[in-house]
Amino acid sequence: MPGYYPIFLNVSGRKCVVVGGGEVAERKVRGLVEAGSSVLVISPAVTEALGRLASEGVVEALSRQYRPGDIAEDAALVFAATDDPAVNHAAAQEAKEKGIPVNVADDPDYCDFILPSVLRRGDLVISVSTSGQSPALARRIREDLEGLFPEEYASLCGLLYDVRQNLHNRGKMVSSQQWHDAIDHELRDLLRRGRYEEAKEKLLSRLEVE
């Protein structure tokens, strides 16, 4: 297996093309929409959920088979996720010729990148990959992590950003060790109970900032 370089890519507002309209394609589209991408779906038939996203204007859809030339030059990413390997390979070849990274579902030999299993807690994003060897294991690990990182981590991430910006604007410097020592279960407990301001005051106190 090739070695993969882990990276988080900003696709907000950028065009991504998904060739296919089944459940696999739907998962790709949902992730792209969540990341703020402008998504084009090309498929003669789509799932009910994809059809709803198209009717609501969340994604653009071409209700037909993929044709050579469908991959726009300005696309950031391409996903080939049909049940026809020949169509997937044709779309992948066009993407590669145009220098656009492509992912082909269940066909790592044609992929420029693979997708991890992702856990999101607001702006906190945790991704797990087995380098394509076992998506089922990656999913299982992600499910285990859900218990370790409950919903309050979304608020914790926001709190830390809020305080960090506050300190930056005031010209206050805090060491990485101070940050590390200040973050504990007590902050998470306060946030779980909705006591954001109290958690903020406690964090500032721990950082010894008035």
User: What pLDDT shows up at residue 191?
Assistant: 96
Of 66, 97, 115, the one marking the end of a domain is 115
Helix axes 23-34, 48-55, angle to 10 degrees: 40
Whether 91 and 37 map to the same domain: the answer is yes
140 occurs within a structural domain: yes
Whether 198 and 139 map to the same domain: the answer is no
User: What pLDDT shows up at residue 106?
Assistant: 87
Q: pLDDT tens digits, residue range 67-123?
A: 999 999 999 999 999 999 999 999 999 999 999 999 999 898 899 999 999 999 999
Whether 91 and 171 map to the same domain: the answer is no
Domain that holds residue 33: 15-115
Q: pLDDT tens digits, residue range 55-79?
A: 999 999 999 999 999 999 999 999 9
Determine whether 28 is exposed, middle or buried from the number of CB atoms within 10 Å of its CB (0-12, 13-18, 19+): buried
pTM: 0.84
